[in-house]
Amino acid sequence: MLKNAAGDFDNFYYDILKLELYYWEYSVESTTEKSDQLKQFLAEFHCDEDSTINSRLKELIFLSYSVRYELKRFNIPGAIILRSEIKNLLSKINRQALEYPENRLKLFDLYKVLFTYFDNIFNPLFRESKRLERESALHKIEQFSCDDDLIVNTLANYFLGKIYLNIENNPPESRIHLELLLEKYPGNKSVSELLAHCNSKIKSQEIRKRIHKNSVP
């Protein structure tokens, strides 16, 4: 996907795709090397001198990946602190006052709704309101997957592929988004491996259904 992106996207978009690639590599192979690679790029992405127009968007993206990194390391206290920083940042941002071009606004909205989705996953009291907020956020991400902006729909489809596969336990829905990505980026390693895992889960589910059906008198 990055090879295709080099010509299609500007440096800002390209860095976001690169950040997602490094996170995916770390999530698959949680070695010290992959961890250091992700941390280094996160630091470079965060500290890079950029125009003011991108600063808050970069801060939101940086914090979002930092939370995911800490959760992957099971550093729950660190993730909670970063989550508070994201909520504080979002509370200070007046979307109407953001002087972003339309594509940057869409990217901001996508990461904001992703945070809303993940923030409402943890529901220790099984509150109906949290379930409804999560479903609403998921629906909004689905809308972004059909957007006419290439980077926005690419990221949305990628996130949905992973969400349906790993969180919602809905591999058939995951396959729809992963196959769409593979049509755009044939031979992409990360998407191909996710799709293979997805197809394996679908096959396992079908086998379990057949066994259950045959066991029912």
- For the chain, domain boundaries: 1-93, 103-217
164: nearest Cα among 142, 144, 185: 142
pLDDT at residue 3, rounded to an integer: 52
Cα 108 to Cα 102: distance, rounded to the nearest angstrom: 10
Distance set, CA 71 to CA 7, 27, 83 (Å) = 33, 11, 11
Q: How much is the pTM?
A: 0.80
pLDDT in tens, the chain (217 residues): 555 544 455 677 778 888 888 887 887 777 888 888 888 888 888 765 555 556 788 888 888 888 888 887 878 888 888 889 898 888 888 888 787 888 888 989 999 999 899 888 765 556 788 888 899 999 999 999 999 998 899 999 999 999 999 889 999 999 999 999 999 888 888 889 899 999 999 999 888 888 866 665 6
The pLDDT of residue 148 is 93
The CATH number of the domain covering residues in 103-217: 1.25.40
